[in-house]
Amino acid sequence: MSDALIARLRQAVIDAEPDDALALVRELLAADVAPTLILDGGLAKAMLILGEMWKSGEVFLPEVMAAAAVFTICNEEIEPVLLASADHKVGAKVLLATVKGDMHDLGKNMVAAMLKMAGFDVIDLGTDVSSAAIIEAVIRETPAVVGLSALLTTTMPEQRSVINALVAAGLRDSVKVLVGGAPATQEWADAIGADAYGQHAPDAVRAVKELVGVLD
Ligand code: B12
Q: Nearest 5°: CA angle at 184, between 182 and 187?
A: 150
Distance 212 CA to ligand 1 centre (A): 28
pLDDT in tens, 43-100: 999 999 999 999 999 999 999 999 999 999 999 999 999 888 777 788 899 999 999 9
Q: Cβ(42) to ligand 1 under 6 A?
A: no
Q: Cβ(152) to ligand 1 under 6 A?
A: yes
Task: Assess whether pLDDT exceeds 80 at residue 1.
Answer: no
Count Cα atoms within 13 angstroms, Cβ side, for 76. 8
Q: Which amino acid is at 53?
A: M
Distance 104 CA to ligand 1 centre (A): 5
Kindly write down the DSSP assignment for every residue of 125-165, as one continuous string: --SSB-HHHHHHHHHHH--SEEEEE--STTTTHHHHHHHHH
pLDDT in tens, 172-185: 999 999 999 999 99
From the alpha carbon of 39, which atom of ligand 1 is closest? 29
Do 197 and 107 contact (CB within 8 A), yes or no? no
Do 196 and 111 contact (CB within 8 A), yes or no? no
What pLDDT does residue 87 have?
72
- Residue with the smallest CA separation from ligand 1 atom 56 is 51
Nearest to 74 by CA among 19, 4, 116: 19
| Rounded Cα–Cα distance for residues 4 and 19 (Å) | 18
Average pLDDT over residues 117-124: 95
- Residue with the smallest CA separation from ligand 1 atom 31 is 107
Do 24 and 9 contact (CB within 8 A), yes or no? yes
Do 87 and 111 contact (CB within 8 A), yes or no? no
Q: Cβ(93) to ligand 1 under 6 A?
A: no
CA 35 from centroid of its chain's CA atoms:
15
Q: Cβ(100) to ligand 1 under 6 A?
A: no
Strand order in the sheet with 196-198: 121-124, 93-98, 145-149, 176-180, 196-198
pLDDT in tens, 192-205: 999 999 999 999 99
- What domains lie within the chain, and their CATH numbers? 2-84 (1.10.1240.10), 93-212 (3.40.50.280)
Task: Assess whether pLDDT exceeds 70 at residue 152.
Answer: yes
Mean pLDDT of the chain: 96
What pLDDT does residue 83 have?
87
| Rounded Cα–Cα distance for residues 74 and 174 (Å) | 36
